[in-house]
Structure 1
């Protein structure tokens, strides 16, 4: 799937979710259902293409600086947490995603991050982007038990990157973090 088409589908879901599209913490988060609705209008093969492109998009964010930003924002962030963070970041749309991958300190500008820094409710992450995509696949007539096999086939045996890109540092080293993520550090300093 063309990357512009992929981001266009995400944007259509965001538009359907309206002003509640930016926070995954709400118990009645409308964005996953909106994404399912948008994707369910596609043919099953196109939904598999969406899943493959989602894999590529989130893999592009597999970078230490962004992981360290997630660690700071969430008060810790392991492998699964960073996967959730990247899935949720993609749901924030192309502009936010692209800016955050290029400069993770940009995340300090997001209202949800500011709320989180004050100990208020909020979350960027999303448990798994696969859920709404798999549901759309089933609704569009794809074999419910065939989704994973179809995605694996479409991925063609690509091996995921084992080590995040970019330079890392000890995120618990306050001085190093202030140098690399000054705006986020200022929000989350105790």
Structure 2
């Protein structure tokens, strides 16, 4: 599987997270096991493009706080936006300001959000593993296949760049000017 196929599968999977996971798992389970392993390798590689301290700062601002697990699931959600949007946001985290849902969150009280937050896709992490198990019957088969390739799956963020204070108004304005404007009330009261 190449990166174009990866993005095609994600974009064909729909929009509702649980339905997307079911569709992706079923679709991947119909492929040869090496393609399923490729999907996981590509997911890790692509997610890593946005695994930076500035992206984490953007998630922290938009989500009104963001743990390491929350940021990891946020990265999955970013991948789920599709190739074009992900690429734009990976290049510039401030481009999150162009995402409709992010704009709606700017005017919504965080206490009313669903459990797990509105910008996370944890279940994407299990798609390849479940598909591999369905395809081969091997519970740890994907782990074995990835280890044979020398690939260690990404299980938590390891951000690139230098850490910074996500609650610092000057840093937010410098690094994320559009998001800071969109979430001005939160920034002012942070």
Scaled by the length of structure 2, the TM-score of the pair is: 0.82
Structure 1 partner of 2:177: 182
Q: Is contact 1:52–1:154 with CA below 8 Å preserved after alignment?
A: no
Does the alignment pair 1:87 with 2:76?
Answer: yes
- Do the aligned residues in 1 keep the contact of 2:51 with 2:157 (CA within 8 Å)? no
Match of 1:76 in 2: 65
Instruction: Tell me, in whole angstroms, the C-alpha distance in 1 between the residues paired with 2:154 and 2:24.
Output: 27
Is 1:37 aligned to 2:26, yes or no?
A: yes
Query: Which position in structure 1 is the counterpart of 2:89?
Result: 100
- How far residue 123 of structure 1 moved from its aligned partner, in angstroms, is 1.8
Q: CA deviation at 1:167?
A: 4.9
Structure 2 Cα separation of the partners of residues 51 and 8 of structure 1: 15
Residues 52, 159 of structure 1: CA spacing in aligned structure 2 closer, same or farther, 3 A cutoff? closer
- The partner residue of 2:125 within 113, 123, 130 is 130
Distance 1:70 1:32, change over 3 A: same
Other-structure match for 2:47: 58
Counterpart-to-counterpart distance in 1, 2:12 and 2:59: 26
- Name the Cα RMSD after superposition: 2.5
**In structure 2, what is the Cα distance between the partners aligned to 1:32 and 1:163?**
25
Deviation at 1:159, TM superposition (A): 9.4
Q: Match of 1:52, SS?
A: helix
TM-score, normalised with respect to structure 1: 0.82
Sort the Cα spacing of 1:151 and 1:143 in 2 relative to 1 into closer, same or farther, 3 A.
Answer: same
Which is further off, 39-48 or 143-152? 143-152
Judge conservation of contact 2:29–2:131 (CA < 8 Å) in 1: yes
Asked whether the equivalents of residues 69 and 156 of structure 2 are also in contact (C-alpha less than 8 Å), the reply is no
Match of 2:188 in 1: none
Q: Count the aligned residue pairs.
A: 179
